[in-house]
């Protein structure tokens, strides 16, 4: 991921949550983190590998997926995933880029990063306000575009600090 996008996310996390972020070294993802199809990465495997004592937001461009029993899908493509509560989350730009300009990708990336960190802080998906960042995007950029850079009052009540 290019430095400009990384810095945009770093500054958004600082502005939104007040957390100082540092950009760690780039890491190559190993084959063991691939999903069964070997075409994309397993978000669950990534979270499991990088779950530790520090807070980690993993940003990547490769496609990610989860095993989704509700949809009877062994590989459901997603934009991001975060433990709730937890200290690790992953966001991919792969699904954020389709048919939009660079500035829109960056806006979506910042929103999804804030959303996944929200899960780390204990917030679930929102059903109170359609503009809240904690809505489930269901894999679509359109829902992310409808959201504003805020978390509604109902969601703020569930923040675990």
Query: pLDDT tens string for the chain (161 positions)?
Result: 889 999 999 999 999 999 888 888 899 999 999 999 999 999 999 999 999 888 999 999 999 999 887 777 789 999 999 999 999 999 999 999 988 999 999 999 999 999 999 999 999 999 999 999 999 987 778 889 999 999 999 999 988 76
Under DSSP, is residue 51 helix (H, G, I), strand (E, B) or coil? coil
CA angle 134, 149, 156 (to 5 degrees): 50
Of 119, 51, 116, 124, nearest to 88 by C-alpha is 51
Alpha carbon distance 109, 11 (integer Å): 12
CB 50 within 8 A of CB 85: no
Give the C-alpha distances (Å, rounded to integers) separating 16 from 91, 95, 122, 133. 17, 23, 16, 12
Alpha carbon distance 74, 68 (integer Å): 6
* Cis peptide preceding 85, ω within 30 of 0: yes
Structure tokens at 122: 């204990």
How long a stretch of residues is the chain?
A: 161
Pairing of strands 64-68, 88-92: unpaired
Give the pLDDT confidence score for residue 161 in this predicted structure.
Answer: 60
Give the pLDDT confidence score for residue 53 in this predicted structure.
Answer: 80
């Amino acid at each position: 991921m290019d430095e400009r996008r990384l810095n945009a996310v770093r500054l958004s996390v600082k502005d939104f949550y007040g957390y100082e972020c540092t950009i760690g070294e780039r890491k190559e993802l190993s084959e063991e983190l691939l999903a069964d199809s070997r075409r994309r990465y397993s978000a669950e495997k990534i979270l499991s590998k990088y779950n530790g004592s520090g807070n980690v937001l993993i940003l990547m461009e490769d496609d990610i997926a989860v095993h989704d029993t509700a949809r009877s899908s062994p590989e459901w493509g997603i934009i991001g995933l975060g433990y709730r509560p937890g200290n690790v989350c992953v966001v991919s730009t792969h699904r954020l880029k389709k048919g939009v300009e660079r500035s829109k990708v960056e806006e979506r990336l910042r929103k999804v990063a804030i959303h996944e960190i929200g899960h780390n802080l204990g917030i679930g998906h929102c059903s109170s306000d359609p503009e809240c960042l904690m809505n489930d995007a269901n894999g679509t950029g359109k829902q992310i575009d409808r959201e504003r850079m805020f978390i509604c009052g109902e969601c703020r009540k569930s923040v675990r600090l």
